[in-house]
Amino acid sequence: MPKGGRKSTTWEPGWNGGKTTLIRVPIVLKDDVLAYARAVDSKLISDKSRNIPMLKGDFLQEFTLGLIDRYIEFKRHNYHPNQNSRKLDTSTRPWDELRKFQRLIQETPELLKE
């Protein structure tokens, strides 16, 4: 008679990559590390191949656009009104390059490949 508890369950594994392991990361990095791991895991092909693909497209694009949005919000929060403007205006010439970069990432991110 076999020893031990239940040998099988009805729940499906939560990761496409197979078995998991426990790691320790700083709490402030937890959400970012999990988001990265989920993005990599979602790119694994259904045959459980162990080849981890390079991150590209959605994850990197969303991450970069999120950083740009966070930067603009940071500047808006730390903006000091002057005689020309009481609110941050990202449509002015000093913001041209950031807007071009943001549009490039949104519309044609493949141009940034090596």
Q: Are the beta carbons of 90 and 102 closer than 8 angstroms?
A: no
Under a CB-based contact definition with an 8 Å cutoff, are residues 94 and 106 in contact? no
User: Does 85 or 77 have the greater pLDDT score?
Assistant: 77
Contact of 40 with 55, CB cutoff 8 Å: yes
Distance of alpha carbon 74 from alpha carbon 41, whole angstroms: 31
**In this predicted model, what pLDDT tens digit does every residue of 29-80 receive, in sequence order?**
888 888 888 877 776 543 344 444 444 556 778 788 888 998 999 998 888 8
Q: Are 16 and 41 in contact (CB under 8 A)?
A: yes
CB 102 within 8 A of CB 68: yes
- In the chain, the percentage of residues whose pLDDT exceeds 70 is 73
Q: For the chain, how are helix, strand and coil distributed in percent, rounded to 5?
A: 50, 0, 50
Q: What is the mean pLDDT of the chain?
A: 77
Contact predicate 61/105, CB 8 Å: yes
